């Protein structure tokens, strides 16, 4: 389903990383202390290579037309940019262009599914199916009613929790969840919450707090056995692991969401990747221009496929930039990038384990894990930890990371978090560890 076993992959060499770093303009600016910036907040948002920035700008300079709306030259070129980007981003995650809907971000992609299910459950007509269709029919699978259950996990980002809470409230369904092991991994023994009443399962592919990769092989069969619709949040994993939607779909995943700005791409664009039969069954959510077939004063009919869900003016320049970003990642090799992150993660885990009063939230090893490490420092608020690190030229995330339930699992309200990207070096990790070692002393003096 995914190729996250990177033990045999060769990490980028120091020379290759140095070459990559020349592609990123942000490294030319100093940190607050005047030293080079050690940016270690890639799980929140990635920095962009110059080619991505230039491609977005060049679209506005030379190809800024109305895609799909006319026949003049630059409009035709804009349309090609849009559809080429669709094919490229879809191909990057092992999908077809006909399976990818562009959205403004991954949060909107999740809400798109939740709202479509809500519309279908309220009795609005789906593209196919209806009374008498069996539960294997995509249209029937969209219907959630009182007595049904929606299952999530305690590890979810709020974007993959709150929409399902709202859907449960609107439909009268119950919300249940897979729980966590002591070290914050999703506990496969709690898969028993998936029952014949389960109509939808929404889960993260990798936690944005612990970095733990979800054991899909232990969970998906249970969802598949009861015909539950499965939505996978790959915002973290798509930036760090090679993904194959075809394999995921064969295993039971119906849809997954992507976030451009975590994948070296621009902000303002994300995607829903879903099986064609699901897209055809889902009723439209946003309506207006572009997504219609025929509009009369009394009623309208709608396009099929991705266009049904892409109402209004498209984020064309952002799509062009995202296409360049996935080309850049492909050139580096996702398996090689993950192998390098495992080395950096081990360095961080070992370094933090040697510091008194520092607690890592999550597994103590690199097994089935991404380069994301959240931690707390005894007696020091995470925001203060972040300020001390910032004073040393090290940028990390602080707060609850839009994931309060998993923090509650660890009996804390917030944490500091270090995460890696394509430019991260061992030297930057060492700078972080050196600064972290001085945090408690700074506040005890």
**pLDDT tens-digit series, residues 268-288:** 999 999 999 999 999 999 999
Q: How many CA atoms lie within 13 A of 32 on its CB side?
A: 11
Task: Quickly tell me which residue has 């015909």 as its tokens.
Answer: 227
| Positions marked active-site | 402
HEC string of 312-346 equals CCCCHHHHHHHHHHHHHHHHHCHHHHHHHHHHHHH
In which band, very low, low, confident or very high, does the pLDDT at 130 lie, cut at 50, 70 and 90? very low
217/20 Cα distance (integer angstroms):
35
Closest listed residue to residue 421, CA positions, set 307, 283, 271, 265: 265
What does the block give as tokens for 41?
């907040």
241/251 Cα distance (integer angstroms):
18
Asked whether 3 and 336 are in contact (CB, 8 A), the reply is no
DSSP β-bridge partners for residue 375: 360, 416
| C-alpha Rg value of the chain to the nearest Å | 22
Mean pLDDT of 366-385: 97
DSSP β-bridge partners for residue 177: 152
What does the block give as tokens for 222?
């249970």
Helix H or strand E encompassing 168: helix 162-171
Q: Look up residue 156 and give its DSSP letter.
A: -
Q: Is the pLDDT of residue 62 over 80?
A: yes
Q: What is the pLDDT of residue 443?
A: 87
Task: For residue 77, give the 3-state DSSP assignment.
Answer: helix
For the segment 90-105, what is each residue's pLDDT rounded down to a tens digit? 999 999 999 999 999 9
In which band, very low, low, confident or very high, does the pLDDT at 412 lie, cut at 50, 70 and 90? very high
In which band, very low, low, confident or very high, does the pLDDT at 444 lie, cut at 50, 70 and 90? confident
353/351 Cα distance (integer angstroms):
5
What does the block give as tokens for 154?
């305690």
Q: Look up residue 2 and give its DSSP letter.
A: B
List all residues 6 or more positions away from 222 whose beta carbon is below 8 Å from its beta carbon: 191, 194
Q: Look up residue 287 and give its DSSP letter.
A: -
Q: Which domains does the chain have, with CATH numbers?
A: 14-49+333-444 (3.90.1150.10), 54-330 (3.40.640.10)
For the segment 319-341, what is each residue's pLDDT rounded down to a tens digit? 999 999 999 999 999 999 999 99
289/419 Cα distance (integer angstroms):
40
Task: Quickly tell me which residue has 């929606």 as its tokens.
Answer: 150
Q: Is the pLDDT of residue 3 over 50?
A: no
In which band, very low, low, confident or very high, does the pLDDT at 136 lie, cut at 50, 70 and 90? low
Q: Is the pLDDT of residue 149 over 80?
A: yes
Phi first, then psi, for residue 30 (nearest 5°) are -80, 160
Asked whether 313 and 268 are in contact (CB, 8 A), the reply is no
DSSP β-bridge partners for residue 358: 377
In which band, very low, low, confident or very high, does the pLDDT at 202 lie, cut at 50, 70 and 90? very high
Crossing angle of helices 162-171 and 106-121, rounded to 10°: 10
Q: What is the pLDDT of residue 135?
A: 54
């Amino acid at each position: 389903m995914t190729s996250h076993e990177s033990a045999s992959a060769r990490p980028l060499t120091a020379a290759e990383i140095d070459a990559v770093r020349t592609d990123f303009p942000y490294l030319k600016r100093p940190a607050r202390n005047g030293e080079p910036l050690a940016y270690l907040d890639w799980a929140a948002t990635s920095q962009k290579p110059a080619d991505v920035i230039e491609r977005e700008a060049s679209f506005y300079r030379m190809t800024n037309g109305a895609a799909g709306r006319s026949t003049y030259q630059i409009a035709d070129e804009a349309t090609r940019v849009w559809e080429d980007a669709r094919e490229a981003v879809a191909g990057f995650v092992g999908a077809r262009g006909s399976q990818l809907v562009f959205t403004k971000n991954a949060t909107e992609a999740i809400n798109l599914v939740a709202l479509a299910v809500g519309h279908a459950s309220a009795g609005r007509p789906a593209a196919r199916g209806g009374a008498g269709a069996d539960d294997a029919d995509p249209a029937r699978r969209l219907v959630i009613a009182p007595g049904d259950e929606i299952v999530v996990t305690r590890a979810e980002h709020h974007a993959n929790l709150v929409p399902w809470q709202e859907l449960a409230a609107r439909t009268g369904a119950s919300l249940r969840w897979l729980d966590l092991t002591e070290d914050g991994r999703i506990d496969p023994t709690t898969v028993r919450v998936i029952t014949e009443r389960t109509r939808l399962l929404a889960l993260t592919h990798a936690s944005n707090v612990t970095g733990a990769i979800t054991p899909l092989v232990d969970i998906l069969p249970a969802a598949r056995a009861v015909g539950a619709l499965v939505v996978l949040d790959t915002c973290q994993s798509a930036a760090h692991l090679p993904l194959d939607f075809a394999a995921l779909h064969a295993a039971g995943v119906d849809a997954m969401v992507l976030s451009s700005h975590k994948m070296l791409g621009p902000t303002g664009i994300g995607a829903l990747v879903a099986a064609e039969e699901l897209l055809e069954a889902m009723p439209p959510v946003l309506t207006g221009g572009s997504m219609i077939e025929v509009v009369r004063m009394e009623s309208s009919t709608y396009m099929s496929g991705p266009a049904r869900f892409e109402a209004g003016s498209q984020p064309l320049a952002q799509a062009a930039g995202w296409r360049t970003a996935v080309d850049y990642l492909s050139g580096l090799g996702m398996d090689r990038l993950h192998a390098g992150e495992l080395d950096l993660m081990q360095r961080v885990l070992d370094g933090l384990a040697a510091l008194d009063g520092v607690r890592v939230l999550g597994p103590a090893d690199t097994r089935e894990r991404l380069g994301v490490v959240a931690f707390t420092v005894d007696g020091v608020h995470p925001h203060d930890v972040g300020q001390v690190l910032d004073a040393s030229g090290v940028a990390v995330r602080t707060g609850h990371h839009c994931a309060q339930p998993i923090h509650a699992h660890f009996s804390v309200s917030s944490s500091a978090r270090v995460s890696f990207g394509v430019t991260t070096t061992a030297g930057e990790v060492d700078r972080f560890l050196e600064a972290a070692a001085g945090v408690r002393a700074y506040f005890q003096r």
